[in-house]
Amino acid sequence: MNIQQVKAMMELQALGNLGSIASSSSEGTNVFQTVLDRALQTTGTDTLGSVQNLLNTMPHHASSPTLALSQENDASKSQETGIDSIISRAAERYGIPAKLIHSVVKQESGYDPSATSHAGAAGLMQLMPGTARGLGVTDVFDPEQNVFAGSKYLKQMLVKYDGDMKLALAAYNAGPGNVDKYSGVPPFQETQNYVRKIMDSYYA
């Protein structure tokens, strides 16, 4: 490749970058075409392959699938960050570890604000209708109301059982009546698995 070819390609590269800013300008298009024609006349047919390679490697517009996927990930990240903020504030208000609330939310709903169970529990922390009403929740699917109410209830269970996390979690899942009845974690497979999974997540 001679000096003229190198010079032509450098000009094309610079104008190619400019083209992403002024793609709607006919003037920019005309300038690019002029330089392309000059490059072909000056350097011969060998330049054509280089020009085609350069055009093939130019960035796509914002409608490309890669950028669309990136924007989708950003939206998902934004939602997760919003829930994280709610959990942090609830943890601070009720004086319980944010990681514990995260572990409960992960186990209860997998961070899905619209999750529901066959028993009627709903939202991020899977509040039962009666519990939600008693805690002043007006919209169980509202992430902030749900997390704050669920955290408040979890705090109540921790106080009731003198900070015993296993008993508090068992009460959250099976109700304090069953914990009191069996004087510990009830012998229900679902509750025992629930307590174990959350404890494992919390101490991971």
Which residues are catalytically annotated? 108
Supply the Cα-derived Rg of the chain in whole angstroms: 30
- Phi/psi for 122 (5° steps) reads -145, 155
Distance of CA 164 to the CA centre of its chain: 32
Q: Exposed, middle or buried, 76 (CB in 10 Å: 0-12/13-18/19+)?
A: exposed
SS (H, E, C) 130-181: HHHHHCCCCCCCCHHHHHHHHHHHHHHHHHHCCCCHHHHHHHHHHCHHHHHH
Amino acid identity, residue 85?
S
Tally of CB atoms within 10 A around 9: 18
